Structures are given as C-alpha cells and as structure tokens.
Amino acid sequence: IDVTDAQKRILYLEGVPRWEFKYLKRALLTDKQQQLTAFVQSAGGAFINFDEHDSTAAAALPEFADQTLREFSTIILGDLGDQALSGKDCLSIAKFVENGGGLLFLGAVRSCGPEGLLSKAEFKDLAPVVSPAGAQMLEQRTAVSFTAAGRAEPAFAPLLTEPRLPPLLSCWSPVEPGPFSTVFLATAEAAPVLVGRRFGQGRVGIILSDSLWRWQLGAEAGGTEKALYGRFITQLLQWLSPSNRQQNQDNGIQLLLAEQEVDLWSRVQIGALCGKAVDSNGIACRIITPEGKSLALPMVPANLGEDFGLSQKESGFACEFVPELPGTYKLEVLARDGLHSEGALLLAKQPALEYTGEPIQRQWLQRLARDSGGEFLPWSDSDRLLATLKGSSRSIEMVREYSLWNRWPWLALLLSLFCLEWYFRRRWDLV
C-alpha cells in the first residue's frame, strides 16, 4: 500500500513581499491540488512565515535536509541574494532536484545579478541560463509568445487557446541558455522569458521577468486574460512536479532528449531509462515524420550521462536519428510487450548555415569564447558586437625628415630672410 498526500506541497522562499509574491501566493492558495508553504526574508536575514493555513503551516523555515525536502514536490526561489542560503543549503536543493524534485527561479534584479542567488557556485550546473556581464532588467513594453518548443510541450497545451499573451514590461537580458535548456516563452526580439531543463531526475525552470504578475490584472478587471496568470503558474508547476515522473521512473520508460529543437541533418541522440516493471529486451523507438511516415529504430544498451542531461551515468538504451525534413517529429519509445511507452516531440528547423547544411557547433564556440575572454552572440544581437569587443588604444609617433635645399619654396624663404637681415644690418649701421 502506497499512501501519498493528495496535495502537492510547495516551498516558496521570497526576498521581499513584492507583487509577484502576492499574486503567485494567491493563485496557489486557490488551487485545491497545491499546498503552499511561503516564507519572506526579513531585513535581518531571517525568514518569516507567510502561510495562511494555520493548521499545516510551519512556524520556522524547514531544514534543507534530504528527509525534510522530500516532503515537498517543488521549491520556488524568488528575489534572493547570495547570502540568503548557505552553500550547504544550495547543495541540498541541487540534490533534491537531482533526485526528482522541481525547482523554479523567479527572476528579479537582485537574484539574477552578480550578487544574486543564481551566481552561487552550487547552482552553476543546474541553472537553465547564464547571465553574462552587462545583463540587466530591461524595462520596456514587449510582446511575448510561446516558442515552437513551448507549443509542442503538452503541459502548456491548455494555454495555447489564448488569442494572444499580454505584453511584459520587463525582461532580464541578455542571457545564454544552457546546452540542455529549452526556451518555452520568448519576447518578439527572441529574448528568453521562460527557460527549463532537466537536471538528474528532476526539472528546473526560470522566469526572466518581474512583471509576469500583471497577467492577473485582466482577471480582476474581467478582461479577456481572465485567470491567465493562475493557469500559467499551475501548468508550469505541473510540468515541474515530480509525481508523474517518479511513477514513470519506477514502473515505466523515461525518454531522454538533449534538445527539443535541432537543425536539419544533425545527429539526434535518443535515450531511454527503463523502470523495474519494464521488460528491457527489445526496446525500440518509433518516429513519425512530418509527412506521416513511420520509422522504427532499435535501441541498444548504453551508459547515459551528460549528453542526456544526467549528472551521473546510468544504464539505459540509446539510438541515433537524423531528421531530413523540417517540421515536428513524434517520438515514442516502446517496450516489446507493448505495455509501457513514453513519447516526446522533436522540432527540426532549417540550419543556420545555408550552404553546407551542417549545424553550428554552439557548445564549442561558447566554450572557445569563454576561454578566450570573448562572447558568443546570436545573430539577433549582432548590433552589440562592436560594443563587446575589448581592446586598448595605442599611439604611434612617426618622424619624417625633409631636405630643404631641393625644395624651391623653402630656398626662396631662406634667401628672403638673409636679404632682410642684411638690409636691417646696413640700416642700423651694424656692419
């Protein structure tokens, strides 16, 4: 008998009681499937409980121990500085995610800055994005929409019925998504707003705006965006929630993809982890191409590691696939008995290099730029190229010598001066 809590417990730590805290807290308290435990950091650094459920509220911040964090499904970290949590606490949170938990960063000026929580070394491996020097919260009205990967993610399917998403008034930019990260929401200028990734058995997400709470204003005014903010947060937390994934890890198949958006003619590695109840003999991958054709690829035993977003190697199965047509591919990993399966969507797009068709080695270029002290910029940020070039000016002194005797203007000037001198010497009786 497996006794579980019908509600998913969420731990929310916030730096200041800002608008995002108010509306997120309100959205989760009205959800019967969520149980929120919220804390706000005081001026002295201590956390104060803001839970409205007196019967279940914890009076003090829970310990960041494995046994304590196991009681929560997701942890939300708001606008916190690097001193809000100790290195040991951050390692415990990273281990919590690695073991299957969910983690959501609510981006803000302090948390995303150089002295924010995201800058801690303990979060370097799991952070979905990297903020280069010069990143800041740009305050301007900008349109926002789901990317192709966001539209292909089943968790966000209920939100795709919206005719449009309300604009945002701020966005932390520029950022560099990690190699295993997926951009689900972006601005009209292709700046990431919602980025997520796998980390171990869990998932991590980050919202790179502090004005997303304004989506709730339409609900209060009775506009077309009624309850949009609450539905968005609920769907996002369901994507981060480990309950369904944990059951799948124990009894089913888990499909692994390094990226959900790839270039044409690039090699796509498909991995799979099998639970205890799965017959691991004869694991295969079925692929439905954009034109409707069905392909079947056998999967061979392999050690899956960092190439699939896993922090440590695990025994599983893998196969390779090369997309030849642009569009959406439906992937499904099947067991031989047909009782267990797992599906995913893969978007293949035109490569950045038009002539060769070979994909850009983005990870190698990013590493080269980082090691050489440079910066890797997408084409959309090409106008910032000159501003990012670092160099020092130097002056060069050049000395040129001219002979006056072979230049008649100078010779005439000298003869005139000699004559003028002789004239004044005779006039003043100097000779």
What token pair was written down for 155? Answer: 């968790």
- pLDDT score, position 226: 47
- pLDDT score, position 192: 93
368-379: per-residue pLDDT in tens?
Answer: 888 887 888 877
Per-residue DSSP letter, 309: T
3-state secondary structure 98-126: HCCCEEEEECCHHHHCCCEHHHCHHHCCC
- pLDDT score, position 175: 92
Distance of CA 194 to the CA centre of its chain: 7
What token pair was written down for 259? Answer: 């990226």
- pLDDT score, position 148: 83
Q: What's this model's pTM, rounded to 2 decimal places?
A: 0.64
- pLDDT score, position 282: 79
Distance of CA 329 to the CA centre of its chain: 23
CA atoms within 13 A on the CB side of 382: 2
Low-confidence stretches of the chain (pLDDT < 70) are 1-7, 51-59, 218-226, 243-251, 277, 311, 352-359, 402, 404-405, 431
- Measured distance CA(70)–CA(214) in Å, rounded: 32
- pLDDT score, position 404: 64
276-331: per-residue pLDDT in tens?
Answer: 767 778 788 999 999 999 999 999 999 888 777 776 788 889 999 999 898 889 89
- pLDDT score, position 56: 44
DSSP string, 342-358: EEEEEEEE--S-TTT-P
Q: H-helix or E-strand containing 370?
A: helix 362-371
Which residues fall within 8 angstroms of residue 66, CB to CB, at 6 or more apart?
92, 95, 96, 99
- pLDDT score, position 307: 77
- What are the residue ranges of helices labelled H in 113-187? 148-152
CA atoms within 13 A on the CB side of 389: 7
Q: Provide, for the chain, the percentages of residues in helix, strand and coil under a 3-state DSSP scheme, each rounded to the nearest 5.
A: 30, 30, 45
Any bridge partners for residue 410, and if so which? none
370, with CB counted inside 10 A (0-12, 13-18, 19+), is middle
Q: Do the beta carbons of residue 325 and residue 290 sit within 8 Å?
A: yes
Task: Give the type of residue at 276.
Answer: K
